[in-house]
Amino acid sequence: MAEERTIRIGMLGCGTVGGAVIRLLHEHGDDLAQRAGVRLAVARVAVRDPERDRGVPLAADVFTDDVRAVVDDPEIDVVCELMGGVDPARELILRGFANGKSAVTANKELLAAHGEELFAAADEAGRDLYFEAAVAGGIPLIRPLRESLAGERVDRILGIVNGTTNFVLTQMSEQGWTSGEAVAEAQRLGFAEADPTADVEGYDAAAKCAILATVAFGARVVARDVYREGISSVTPQDFVDADRLGYVIKLLAIAELEDEEIAVRVHPAMIPEAHPLASVRGASNAVFVEGPRIGQLMFYGAGAGGDPTATAVVGDLVSVSRNLVQGARGLSMAPTNHRPVRSMGETTDQYYLKLHVEDRPGVLAEVADRFGRHGISLERVWQEGFGDEATLSFITHRAQERAFQETVEELRGLPAVHAIASLLRVEGEE
């Protein structure tokens, strides 16, 4: 048997994920060493407060508050960044590359803003940057997209990539709660932060969407390219209506190719009850991947939590360590094409629109005419009368976002239209 090498890991952060990584390496260290031919040793750990007991099986003198000492330590082979945030994580990983170290990170915020710079620095240093845990925590997703599907031309990804909002939407759907009530319950159960903005307003999902598009399309996509709408405007009535029509409502991260351009967006959407993503409840994550050869794939599981996320980090640590020992590298993440990102107005989608209108003959024709003028055809129409007022609901065929929004503005101005009661996009049908 070949001689076992020890790879020394410098951790930046020992919180929920970092602590779980250290425990996992301790528990499975011998097994991993045997199978991988590489022993992973946590040599230094930088935290803000090195005095605090973290309940991990490491000697107290391994801890430091000097983050630079970790990335500058010539004995460290791999930097494992689990501190989160853009600064100083970005500078530390870059410094690690400059010092010849590979890196593993779970930091979606950093990658979605500075991925291109970090991937280029990894290439220049001839080192790896692995980030399986940055999207959908414990679900193996980045490696399948980056490696297993390297021969496929993935053309669409639909993902439930934020467990907090999926939990909130599930509660709204099953309990009839408002989003505020469901967020409060999520906070009580530890599924939502004290400040839930990053989750509820879709920032977290947008960062993950940018990373998925970058990996799947070999392109440069950053978080601010991603159109973003959160879940606060979804009402309990929307769930009642969706249910009657055979749909569920999910916050989706969508990355797709449209005419060789990239469309990336995060918003609540109605999906048919029969779609595989419709049955993803609670804080679970799932990502649906489509390509011409592979057809449809779905990845499902725990999108967060210390232990699930730690398995993804440890998998990456094993891979980069083996690469270091063998003098090899993982696939480069340098962009292989320069497809532009479409502005939201140019993208196409199906739409659900519910209007409160005057209950008199001719109103449906008047409203349908506005859709027709903008070249939008209607797939399904429902009409219900309630005395003076009626409800008109529509699902369109795929239409251009700009044309649809212009239609809605015109409808808003019609005297017969009393209110735009609901507007949701429809995914997973065509």
Ligand X SMILES: NC(=O)c1ccc[n+]([C@@H]2O[C@H](COP(=O)([O-])OP(=O)(O)OC[C@H]3O[C@@H](n4cnc5c(N)ncnc54)[C@H](OP(=O)(O)O)[C@@H]3O)[C@@H](O)[C@H]2O)c1
Out of 6, 16, 232, 405, the only residue in the binding site for ligand X (CB under 6 A) is 16
What's the order of all strands across the beta sheet hosting 63-64?
63-64, 38-46, 5-12, 78-81, 102-105, 129-130
Q: Encoding tokens for residue 10? A: 């410098």
Q: What CA–CA distance (Å, rounded) separates 246 from 341?
A: 32
Contact stretch for ligand X (CB under 6 A) within 1-9, 80-88, 271-279, 345-353: 80-88
Judged by beta carbon, residue 141 or residue 158, the one nearer ligand X is 141
Among all chains, which residue has been given the structure tokens 């930091």? 107
Decide if 102 contacts 79 (C-beta within 8 A).
yes
Counting contacts by CB under 6 A, is residue 218 touching ligand X?
no
The yes-or-no answer on residue 354 being catalytic is no
Decide if 136 contacts 161 (C-beta within 8 A).
yes
Counting contacts by CB under 6 A, is residue 160 touching ligand X?
no
Judged by beta carbon, residue 48 or residue 153, the one nearer ligand X is 48
Angle between helices 179-188 and 163-175 (to 10 degrees): 120
Residue of closest CB approach to ligand X: 15
- Which residue type occupies 277? L
Judged by beta carbon, residue 83 or residue 320, the one nearer ligand X is 83
The residues, ordered by sequence, that sit 6+ positions from 174 with a Cβ below 8 Å of its Cβ are none
Counting contacts by CB under 6 A, is residue 47 touching ligand X?
yes
Q: How far is the CB of 217 from ligand X (least distance, A)?
A: 22
Decide if 122 contacts 97 (C-beta within 8 A).
yes
Q: Angle at the Cα of 354 (from 351 to 355), degrees rounded to 5?
A: 130
Judged by beta carbon, residue 53 or residue 75, the one nearer ligand X is 53
Contact stretch for ligand X (CB under 6 A) within 13-21, 230-238, 291-299, 413-421: 13-21
Q: How far is the CB of 144 from ligand X (least distance, A)?
A: 17
- Among positions 135-154, residues that touch ligand X (CB under 6 A) are 137
String of contacts with ligand X for each residue 91-110, x by CB under 6 A? ---------------xxx--
Interface size with ligand X, residues (CB under 6 A): 23
Q: 345-359 b/e with 16+ CB inside 10 Å = b?
A: eebbbbbbbbbbbeb
Counting contacts by CB under 6 A, is residue 84 touching ligand X?
yes
Which helix (H) or strand (E) segment holds residue 412: the answer is: helix 401-412
Out of 43, 67, 200, 277, the only residue in the binding site for ligand X (CB under 6 A) is 67
Among all chains, which residue has been given the structure tokens 């891979």? 319
Which chain residues interact with ligand X by CB under 6 A? Answer: 13-18, 46-49, 67, 82-84, 88, 106-108, 133, 137, 304-305, 309
Q: Which residues are catalytic?
A: 208
